[in-house]
């Protein structure tokens, strides 16, 4: 069983949490002009790495707050925990963030640049 360090409550068993999947997917703005393909990418396509993964978790039966986790999907090691709205600070997380194909998508550009 995983033990996750909730930044607000401390370490708790995985049973208390729900997992929100890939972190840092920005919604393209409503008035953007992106194509159906680009919108489909935002909506459905997912980063699914074998290795370091940035994901969102929610302490569902605790403080009910969301936070981000850098986790290795092979060893299940938790490498970093950081607040929603911020970016990973340690090397592994930073690298995963910068190297994700998500950063190069039209949807992401439409969300970030405006």
Partner 1 sequence: MVASDIDRGHGALNDKKKRYSAFALARNAASYHQDWQRAWRKASPKASYDAVIIGGGGHGLATAYYLASVHGMKNIAVIEKGWIGGGNTGRNTTIIRSNYLWDESASIYEHALKLWEGLAQDLNFNIMFSQRGVLTIAHSEHELKEMSRRVHAIRLNGIDSDVMSPAEIKKFVPCINIDQSIRYPVMGGFVQQRGGTARHDAVAWGYARAADDMGVDIIQNCEVTGLRRKGRKIIGIDTNMGFIKTNKVGCVVAGHSSVMADMAGIHLPLASRPLQALVSEPIKPILDTVIMSNAVHMYISQSDKGEMVLGAGVDKYNSYAQRGSFPVPEHMIAAAVELFPFMSRLRMLRHWGGIVDTCPDASPILSKTDIDGLYFNCGWGTGGFKATPGSGHVFADLIANDRPNKIAAPYALSRFETGFLIDEHGAAGVAH
Residues that bind partner 1 (CB under 8 A): 1-2, 14-15, 18-19, 21, 36-37, 40-41, 43-50, 53, 55, 71, 73-76, 101
Contact 84, 98 (CB under 8 A): no
Contact 106, 38 (CB under 8 A): yes
- Contact positions with Zn ion (CB under 5 A) in 60-79: 62-63
Per-residue interface string for the shown chain with Zn ion, residues 18-57, x marking contact by CB under 5 A: ----------------------------------------
Q: Which residues, in sequence order, are CB contacts of 28 under 8 Å at separation 6+?
A: 34, 38, 39, 42, 106, 107, 108, 110, 111
- Binding residues for Zn ion, rule: CB under 5 A, are 6, 8-9, 59, 62-63
């Amino acid at each position: 069983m995983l033990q996750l360090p909730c930044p607000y409550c401390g370490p708790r068993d995985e049973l208390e949490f729900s997992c929100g999947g890939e972190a840092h997917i920005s919604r393209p703005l409503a008035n953007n002009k992106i194509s159906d393909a680009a919108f489909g990418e935002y909506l459905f396509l997912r980063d699914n790495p074998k290795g370091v993964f940035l994901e969102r978790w929610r302490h569902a039966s605790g403080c009910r707050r969301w936070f981000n986790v850098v986790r290795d999907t092979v060893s299940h090691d938790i490498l970093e925990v950081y607040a929603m709205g911020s970016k990973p600070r340690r090397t592994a997380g930073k690298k995963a963030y910068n190297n994700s194909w998500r950063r190069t998508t039209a949807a992401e550009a439409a969300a970030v640049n405006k």
